[in-house]
């Protein structure tokens, strides 16, 4: 009973994008660009729209950050329903997913919302609904946006906002991705551990992946919690997920994701969107497809991404940064990585609204 890819393309345009101007780059009906086209795209001159944005002062520009799984909570989206398109977005989601996503976001039950198959679409739709609120309250933040980045599943929302993917097709991809990741997680008990350490904390000694979030086999995570003091961890707290995201344990989920990415339309983003895999901006549609599949088995380079987004010369001003979606974790990370950029940070609330 789920819509086909062709039917997905018949859904009305709903989601707010960075620009209403149709982009000329990319492929139709999921066909891949030729190697020659890809090479040309790498060296493409900026479009008129991109040139207009680049001419603005940094203080007049904005950056949007989209959260990932783990940010979800029961009640999210309640403050967004009065804004244009939001109810329709959840209505389309119900047709694509086969269940009432809005009811799950607003009323739970929490146990169901926390499942990978549910929370990934929930965070994706709620984040793009938050963009509708931002557009209502501050349309200049949308019009003058020069860059976007998303954490894990948040990267799909960033790509939709950038014009690289359509809302309905991207949501279908997120659905397939979440189901494949849920299935992969059931093969081997695994999870993720949020770690805060002293400067001498032995992250690399603890695991092969260097980072603030460690993912892997459940037995290994239990061991790290037990040995946290010896490893100089101030805190080692399990995240509310049952999957070792972004590790080799997700390998079985990559092929279903690659398959569905071949079927949907992908275009070159109209603004800079940064890949979780290497913190570099996407250059063309083939690049987007490859990196989204690779993302499942690669650690998220989030701090490196923030460095790429906010790197500037001494004395240059910073753009306004908006975290659109549930939670404020990306703002917390920005505060730790770049206090000057954080001074222009705003969270777009998803639970309350101004009357």
Name the residues annotated as catalytic: 152, 246
Backbone angles phi, psi at 270, to 5 degrees: -80, -15
CB atoms within 10 A of CB 112: 14
Pick from 152, 116, 142, 123: nearest CA to 240: 116
Q: What's the CA gap between 144 and 146, in Å, rounded?
A: 6
- Pseudo-torsion of CA 144, 321, 154, 125, nearest 10°? -70
- Whether 142 and 135 have beta carbons less than 8 Å apart is answered as yes
Q: Residue 250 in contact with residue 188, Cβ under 8 Å?
A: no
CA distance 306 to 345: 13
- Whether the CB-CB separation of 137 and 198 falls below 8 Å is answered with no
Structure tokens at 204: 């690399």
Whole-angstrom distance, CA of residue 180 vs CA of residue 87: 27
What stretches of 76-198 adopt beta strand conformation (E)? 145-150, 190-197
Which of 349, 327, 347, 345 is CA-nearest to residue 337?
345
- How is the beta sheet containing 233-238 ordered, strand by strand? 213-217, 190-197, 233-238
């Amino acid at each position: 009973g789920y819509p086909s890819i062709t039917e997905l393309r018949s859904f009305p345009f709903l989601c707010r994008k960075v620009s209403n101007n149709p982009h000329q780059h990319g492929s139709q009906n999921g066909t891949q660009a030729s190697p020659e086209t890809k090479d040309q795209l790498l060296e493409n001159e900026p479009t008129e729209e991109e040139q207009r944005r680049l001419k603005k002062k940094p203080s007049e520009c904005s950056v949007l950050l989209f959260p990932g799984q783990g940010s979800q909570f029961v009640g999210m989206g309640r403050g967004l329903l009065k804004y244009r398109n939001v109810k329709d977005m959840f209505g389309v989601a119900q047709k694509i997913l086969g269940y009432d996503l809005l009811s799950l976001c607003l009323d739970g039950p929490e146990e169901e919302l926390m499942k990978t198959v549910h929370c990934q679409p929930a965070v994706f739709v709620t984040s793009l609904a938050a963009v509708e609120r931002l557009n209502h309250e501050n349309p200049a933040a949308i019009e003058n946006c020069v860059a976007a980045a998303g954490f894990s599943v948040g990267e799909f929302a960033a790509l939709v906002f950038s014009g690289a993917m359509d809302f309905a097709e991207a949501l279908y991809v997120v659905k397939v991705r979440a189901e494949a990741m849920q299935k992969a997680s059931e093969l081997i008990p695994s999870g993720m551990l949020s770690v805060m350490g002293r400067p001498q904390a032995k992250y690399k000694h603890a695991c092969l992946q260097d980072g603030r979030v460690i993912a892997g086999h459940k037995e290994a995570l239990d061991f790290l919690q037990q040995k946290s003091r010896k490893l100089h961890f101030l805190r080692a707290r399990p995240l509310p997920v049952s999957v070792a995201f972004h590790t080799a344990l997700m390998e079985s989920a990559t092929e279903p994701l690659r398959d569905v990415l071949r079927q949907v339309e992908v275009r070159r983003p109209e603004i800079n969107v940064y890949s979780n895999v290497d913190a570099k901006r996407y250059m063309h549609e083939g690049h987007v497809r490859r990196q989204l599949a690779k993302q499942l088995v690669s650690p998220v380079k989030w701090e490196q991404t923030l460095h790429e987004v906010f790197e500037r010369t001494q004395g240059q001003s910073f753009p306004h940064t908006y975290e659109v979606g549930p939670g404020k974790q990306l703002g917390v990370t920005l505060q730790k990585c770049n206090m000057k950029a954080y001074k222009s940070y705003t969270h777009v609330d998803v639970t309350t609204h101004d009357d």
